[in-house]
């Protein structure tokens, strides 16, 4: 974000197109921050040539190599030319919300016979906050693995709180409505990651951060723990300078990925990505190379973000209450998820982005993490997942909000 725009004195007049654009840019950024966005930047759209040529070329190469796996929506035409998303748009207002919560996941639990003998493992474990006390497990059946304490799954931080699409869209809609007061002729259309828009490329173009070697947008202020949104508008605004990359020679994310899903810097192969398989893969079983390396992940994966130096140094707790962890998401019981019923799923994940993972997928992911045969019956603890009554209440959703999902958007 170009902070000089916020230092602009709105009292300075001028009726030239540049003066009007500068004044409008200042007011737009000021309003976006007032609405609670943590970052805001501007990118321009030319009517003469396609935007983001480098990002478009990279997307096409990624698709040609088959790295999108079964995500057919990634080839949507609008993703290649934002002018198809909104032909009249001349500017893109890019925003970011910090979602980081500092709660630590429990120790990695493994069957006793699978515990490593490396002393450095114990030293690493001692530095992590221990798992919360849990009721005793029922006596396991003889054909089940024996654990020294209940096993816990891992859920990516983005999904710990309320569905971020709702939080972003509420603020984006408010900003869009305000633009009309700035200029009655202004038209706009907002987008989140469910829209056929290259959100990370636009954020980099608008100066919010840079796309890291793990494929995530990294910001100087918050690391990569940010949600992105865009507001395409007909207003002519002054663009910010695109952000430069600051990954340097670091390769921690490439080296840390247990499945080798980052074969080269800035390229992620969804076919080998734990996050893709636990969230998007609808198959009855996971590929063996994924199942054998889950390390407890049942909903997404944060490994490449957890090891990033920018996250380790600059992550800061969010001030948005909606993103605070709901009950049971930081340390879910794998034995409970392995027998999750449709009713329990509906109660536990209302108003959560985790609803994208259907009940059968939760059971599949948990059983794979427990190293259980999918065809063997399984008896779990009688303790149930947190129900909706145990969760922080959702704020009412404005019924007039339209997510604006396109037919090319993912299901």
Q: Does the pLDDT of residue 165 top 80, yes or no?
A: yes
Q: Does the pLDDT of residue 225 top 60, yes or no?
A: yes
Average pLDDT rounded to a whole number, residues 276-292? 97
Going by pLDDT thresholds of 50, 70 and 90, the confidence category of residue 386 is low
For the chain, count helices (H), then strands (E).
15, 8
Which residues are within 8 A (CB) of 388 and not within 5 positions of it... i.e. 6 or more apart?
A: 347, 348, 350
Q: Does the pLDDT of residue 12 top 60, yes or no?
A: no
Please tell me which residue, 127 or 62, carries the higher pLDDT value. 62
Reported in sequence order, the residue ranges of 122-273 that DSSP labels E, i.e. its strands, are 154-155, 188-191, 210-211, 217-218, 226-233
Helix residue spans in 229-333 (DSSP H): 252-256, 274-279, 288-291, 303-306, 309-314
Q: Give 41's strand partners.
A: 94
Going by pLDDT thresholds of 50, 70 and 90, the confidence category of residue 108 is low
Q: Are 3 and 220 in contact (CB under 8 A)?
A: no
Place of tokens 């002519």: 236
What's the pLDDT at 10?
A: 57
Average pLDDT rounded to a whole number, residues 347-362? 97
What's the pLDDT at 8?
A: 55
Looking from the CA of 53 toward its CB, the CA atoms found within 13 Å total: 4
Q: Are 255 and 348 in contact (CB under 8 A)?
A: no
Average pLDDT rounded to a whole number, residues 73-79? 95
The two structure tokens encoding residue 196: 């056929």
Going by pLDDT thresholds of 50, 70 and 90, the confidence category of residue 15 is confident
Q: Does the pLDDT of residue 284 top 50, yes or no?
A: yes
Going by pLDDT thresholds of 50, 70 and 90, the confidence category of residue 308 is very high
The two structure tokens encoding residue 309: 């130096």
Going by pLDDT thresholds of 50, 70 and 90, the confidence category of residue 130 is very low
- Sorted by where each begins, the domain ranges of the chain are 3-100+163-233, 112-117+135-160+248-389
Average pLDDT rounded to a whole number, residues 70-83? 95
Q: In whole numbers, what is the pLDDT of the chain averaged over residues? A: 83
Of 262, 276, 300, nearest to 164 by C-alpha is 300
What's the pLDDT at 140?
A: 32
Backbone φ/ψ region at 66: left (φ over 0), alpha (ψ -120 to 50), beta? left
Q: Does the pLDDT of residue 82 top 80, yes or no?
A: yes
pLDDT in tens, 367-378: 999 998 766 665
pLDDT in tens, 181-220: 999 999 999 999 999 999 999 999 999 999 999 999 999 9
43-52, 111-120, 306-315: least confidently modelled range: 111-120
Give the rounded percent of residues in the chain with a pLDDT score beyond 70. 77
The catalytically annotated residue of 183, 193, 306, 406 is 193
Q: Are 153 and 369 in contact (CB under 8 A)?
A: yes
CB count within 10 Å of CB 81 equals: 14
**How does DSSP assign 71-86, residue by residue?**
-GGGG-HHHH-HHHH-
Q: Does the pLDDT of residue 239 top 90, yes or no?
A: yes
Backbone φ/ψ region at 371: left (φ over 0), alpha (ψ -120 to 50), beta? left
Q: Does the pLDDT of residue 146 top 50, yes or no?
A: no
What's the pLDDT at 126?
A: 28
Give the rounded percent of residues in the chain with a pLDDT score beyond 90. 73
Sheet holding 226-233, edge to edge: 39-44, 91-98, 226-233, 188-191
Q: Give 229's strand partners.
A: 95
For Cα atoms 301, 307, 313, give the angle at the middle one, nearest 5 degrees. 125
Q: Does the pLDDT of residue 109 top 60, yes or no?
A: no
The two structure tokens encoding residue 166: 């709702």
Cα dist from 315 to 214, 312, 323, whole Å = 17, 6, 14
Going by pLDDT thresholds of 50, 70 and 90, the confidence category of residue 16 is confident
Helix residue spans in 235-302 (DSSP H): 252-256, 274-279, 288-291
Q: Does the pLDDT of residue 48 top 70, yes or no?
A: yes
Residue 307 φ/ψ, nearest 5 degrees: -90, -5
Q: Does the pLDDT of residue 393 top 90, yes or no?
A: no
For the question of residue 193 being annotated catalytic, the response is yes
Write down the pTM of the prediction. 0.81
Average pLDDT rounded to a whole number, residues 49-62? 94
10-14, 61-65, 236-240: least confidently modelled range: 10-14
Q: Are 301 and 258 in contact (CB under 8 A)?
A: no
Q: Does the pLDDT of residue 147 top 70, yes or no?
A: no
Q: Does the pLDDT of residue 145 top 70, yes or no?
A: no
Place of tokens 């987008």: 191
Q: Are 196 and 79 in contact (CB under 8 A)?
A: yes
How far is Cα of residue 384 from the mean position of the Cα atoms in its chain? 27
Place of tokens 């007011």: 27
Average pLDDT rounded to a whole number, residues 149-167? 91
């Amino acid at each position: 974000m170009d902070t000089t725009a916020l230092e602009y004195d709105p009292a300075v007049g001028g009726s030239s197109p540049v003066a009007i654009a500068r004044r409008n840019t200042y007011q737009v950024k000021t309003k976006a921050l007032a609405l609670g966005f943590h970052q805001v930047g501007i990118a321009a759209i030319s009517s003469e040539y396609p935007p983001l040529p480098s990002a478009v070329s990279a997307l096409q190469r990624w698709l040609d190599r088959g790295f999108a796996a079964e995500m057919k929506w990634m080839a949507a035409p609008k993703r290649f030319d934002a002018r198809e998303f909104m032909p009249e748009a001349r500017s893109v207002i890019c925003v970011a919300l910090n979602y980081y919560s500092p709660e630590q996941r429990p120790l990695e639990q493994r069957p006793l016979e699978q515990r490593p003998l490396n002393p450095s493992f114990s030293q690493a474990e001692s530095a992590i906050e221990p798992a919360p006390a849990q009721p005793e497990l029922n006596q396991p059946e003889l054909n089940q693995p024996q654990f020294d304490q209940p096993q816990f799954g891992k859920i990516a931080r983005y999904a710990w709180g309320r569905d971020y699409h709702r939080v972003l869209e509420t603020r984006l809609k408010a900003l869009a409505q305000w633009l009309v007061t700035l200029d009655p002729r202004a038209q706009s259309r907002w987008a989140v990651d469910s829209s056929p828009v290259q959100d990370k490329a636009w954020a980099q173009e608008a100066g919010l951060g840079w796309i890291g070697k793990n494929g995530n947008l990294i910001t100087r202020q918050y690391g990569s723990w940010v949600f992105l949104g865009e507001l395409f508008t007909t207003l002519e605004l002054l663009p910010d300078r695109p952000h430069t990359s600051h990954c340097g020679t670091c390769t921690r994310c490439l080296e840390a990925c247990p499945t080798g899903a980052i074969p080269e810097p800035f390229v992620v192969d969804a076919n080998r990505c734990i996050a893709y398989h636990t969230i998007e893969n609808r198959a009855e079983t996971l590929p063996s190379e994924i199942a054998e390396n889950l390390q407890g992940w049942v909903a997404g994966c944060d490994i490449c973000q957890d090891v990033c130096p920018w996250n380790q140094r600059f992550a800061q707790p969010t001030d948005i209450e909606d993103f605070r962890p709901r009950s049971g998401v930081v340390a879910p019981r794998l034995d409970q998820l392995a027998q999750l019923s449709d009713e329990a799923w509906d109660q536990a994940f209302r108003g959560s982005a985790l609803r994208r993972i259907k009940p059968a997928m939760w059971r599949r992911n948990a059983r794979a993490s427990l190293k259980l045969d999918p065809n063997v019956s399984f008896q779990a603890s009688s303790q149930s997942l947190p129900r909706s009554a145990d969760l922080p209440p959702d704020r009412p959703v404005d019924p007039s909000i339209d997510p604006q999902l396109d037919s090319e958007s993912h299901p």
